[in-house]
A and B are shown apart, each in its own frame.
Chain A
Amino acid sequence: MSSVTSAHSVVEPSPTSKRIAGAIVMLYALITLIPLAWIFLTSIKSPPDSISYPPKVVFTPTLEGYCNLLTTRTRQTPEYIASLPAPTSTCDEVTRKRNMVIAGPSNFLPRFANSLVIAFGSTFLAVSLGTLAAYGFSRFRVPLAEDLLFFILSTRMMPPIAVAIPIYLMYRELGLSDTALGMILLYTAVNVSLAVWLLKGFINEIPREYEEAAMIDGYTRLQAFWKVVLPQATTGIAATAIFCLIFAWNEYAFAALLTSGEAQTAPPFIPTIIGEGGQDWPAVAAGTTIFLIPILVFTILLRKQLLRGITFGAVRK
């Protein structure tokens, strides 16, 4: 192992080449960040500003997009609006300027909550099942282990949407259509193969002597797994959890096909905002901005583990 690391460090990159590499990475980061900045800026523009050409860089920020995202509104005559008592909130105010009044909350928050429940639920299940399966493959002589692992991997070899129609029919029969449970099971099924493969690598790296020592010290295998293996697998589990969460959080096709009401997630919901009262880009952008926050927070919290997961196999202690 030490020979591997030393082989890498034989030629230390020069300061100049480090600076050039740094500049390229910075440039790349800026380019990828432009769409995000665009979305955020659009979310705080007024609808006329958002579609003006050339795009406005200097504008008066407004919360109108967020108000439109979170509410439903009805159009009223200016006379009626003038007869109302003074507005009680910012949203009241901006809505009335457009000759509208707030009729009630929109479906965004329930859809967002659906997304949270389904994405985190399926991630938890996929990582739990994946950890147990990976431990089994790593530690026991499983008959046909190679074939089983290949089979598990093969479920990722086609785009998940290829099986959308059969799943749609099955779910209709089983009454799982448009249920949070159905979506959790579906995303778990898609993610568990990734979880098994990633975690098997991580668990393989944990020497089995630790569990053996624990078992001799008076613990059962399950207790040893819990007390000795799991704490050392946290990096791998965290990295795997992020990958699973990103997939489940962003998934659009299945969600659009299988959910429409109760269990609808945010991705298929956000585009529907645009239809309510013209081209409301700021509301769509506001929905997207809020939608990005959980994954951003989760990724920042676990960025070390994520890096380890991405560079998995290349980095050795």
Chain B
Amino acid sequence: MADVVLKNLSKRFGDTQALADLDLSIRDGEFVVLLGPTGAGKTTTLRLIAGLERPDGGRIEIGGRNVAGEAPADRDVAFVFQQYSLYPHMTVYDNLAFPLRAPVRKLANDEVDRRVREIARMVRIDHKLENRSTRLSGGEMQRVAIGRALVRRPAIYLMDEPLSSLDAKLRAELRLELKRIQKELGSTLLYVTHDQVEAMTMADRIGIVAEGRLLQVGTPREIYGDPASLHVAARLGQPHINLLPTDLLPGANPPPGTKTIGARTEHLDIVLDQNANAQIDWIEHLGDQNHLHIRVRDHKLVTLADPYFAIRPGDRISLTLRDPLYFDASGQRLG
């Protein structure tokens, strides 16, 4: 395990700037998640670190050494791909053993065997070691793929949306397992996803990426509660943050230069009141909670409500802001 430092990393593909001046340092034993939409440059970052692509500019250090000239095999990283993760012509056992049998490592057979079985137990696939890798369910395949990375102790694990092709239940399960294993091993891990739940639940720190730029890095709480810009604020929170003009609702205390107010559920106080400033349009019942669709003049807001909150479409409510987020004309956070 080691620190990984990226400095001014840039990469172009034809006319597309995939990555622009990215700076990020990942501490030993840290779980960092890069969160962003498709095409933001997340995967490119992983591929640059792994050595599958050459950067146009910038520096990559793994454990203090510049790895620019090193082949992927020499960089001491492990990679979990989003898809096509297992070698289809091999058994589960051979897939897990494949990195250990690499000529550069020259491990003895019984050492390979010991580690394969240990990891198979850890990712709970030890009952299917002799199966063809193509004869596994999606969840089992991804567990083997993660296992094939974990079987080594590289400087850093790179994971490219490893759970995105799975169904929701499995994803939730593997999310927990992955976090448990990472804690157990004390691994350094850079994980890429567009799923904010994965980012919020697993990360020690989250990096928000958009259009090849790293917008903000911080703990999940910081990113959620203290976003540096409108874009970051819009990445997190379900339902989506409400963006309002400054004069729409009372209770705000906008600093000079404020153009937009961002209000999530926790920034909105609702009181039933016939002479109020807002009206309930309709309600989505999700079971454990309700989504309230609220109209204020010609603006629409969505917020969460407790299912026991007695409210019906058409009800008039009084809507007040409580410590919302303020953004200037360029989308930067104020105050």
Contacts and interface: CB of A to CB of B under 8 A. Distances in A.
A207 B105 contact: no
Given A212-B72, A215-B71, A207 B98 contact: no
B77 to A, nearest CB: 6
Given A214-B98, A216-B72, A217-B99, 5 more contacts: A207-B84, A212-B72, A215-B72, A216-B78, A217-B73
B102 A217 contact: yes
B127 interface: no
A12 interface: no
A213 B73 contact: no
Interface stretch (B85-93, B163-171, B225-233, B262-270): B85-93
Contacts of A215: 52, 71-73
Nearest to A215: B72
> Number of contact residues on A: which range applies?
10 to 19
Interface residues of B, number: 25
Among A207, A216, A220, A223, which residue has the most Cβ atoms of chain B within 10 A?
A216
Interface string A204-221: 000101101111111110
Contacts of A216: 50-52, 72-73, 75, 77-79
Contact of A209 (B77, B81, B148): B81
B329 interface: no
B66 interface: no
Contacts of A231: 89
A212 B85 CA distance: 10
A228 interface: yes
B138 to A, nearest CB: 15
B8 interface: no
B104 interface: yes
Enumerate the 8 nearest inter-chain pairs by beta-carbon distance, A residue then B residue, closest first.
A218-B102, A217-B99, A207-B84, A209-B84, A231-B89, A215-B72, A218-B104, A216-B79
Contacts of B104: 218-219
Interface in A62-81: none
A2 to B, nearest CB: 14
Contacts of B75: 216
A219 B75 CA distance: 12
Interface in B24-80: 50-52, 71-73, 75, 77-79
Contact of B79 (A212, A223, A232): A212
A210 B104 CA distance: 18
A250 B134 CA distance: 39
Among A207, A217, A220, which residue has the most Cβ atoms of chain B within 10 A?
A217
What DSSP secondary structure best describes chain B's contact surface?
Answer: loop
A223 B51 CA distance: 17
B289 interface: no
A227 to B, nearest CB: 8
A236 to B, nearest CB: 14
A231 B71 CA distance: 23
B84 to A, nearest CB: 4
A314 to B, nearest CB: 21
A206 to B, nearest CB: 9
A209 B83 contact: yes
A272 to B, nearest CB: 48
Nearest to B83: A209
30 contacts: A207-B83, A209-B81, A209-B83, A209-B85, A210-B87, A212-B79, A213-B85, A213-B87, A214-B98, A215-B52, A215-B71, A215-B72, A216-B50, A216-B52, A216-B75, A216-B78, A217-B73, A217-B78, A217-B98, A217-B99, A218-B73, A218-B102, A219-B102, A220-B71, A220-B73, A223-B102, A223-B103, A228-B87, A231-B89, A232-B88
Nearest to A230: B89
B98 to A, nearest CB: 6
Contact of B103 (A207, A213, A218): A218
Contacts of A218: 73, 99, 102-105
A248 B13 CA distance: 44
A283 B123 CA distance: 68
Given A218-B73, A219-B73, A223-B103, A212 B52 contact: yes
A218 B97 CA distance: 12
Interface string B113-135: 00000000000000000000000
Nearest to B77: A216
Nearest to A207: B84
B90 to A, nearest CB: 8
A232 B85 CA distance: 14
B56 to A, nearest CB: 15
B49 to A, nearest CB: 10
A232 B133 CA distance: 13
A61 B116 CA distance: 64
Nearest to B75: A216
A210 B52 CA distance: 12
Contacts of B88: 232
Nearest to B154: A216
Interface in A228-244: 228, 231-232
B89 A232 contact: yes
A207 B83 CA distance: 9
Interface in A182-229: 207, 209-210, 212-220, 223, 228
A220 to B, nearest CB: 7
Nearest to B73: A218
Interface string B310-326: 00000000000000000
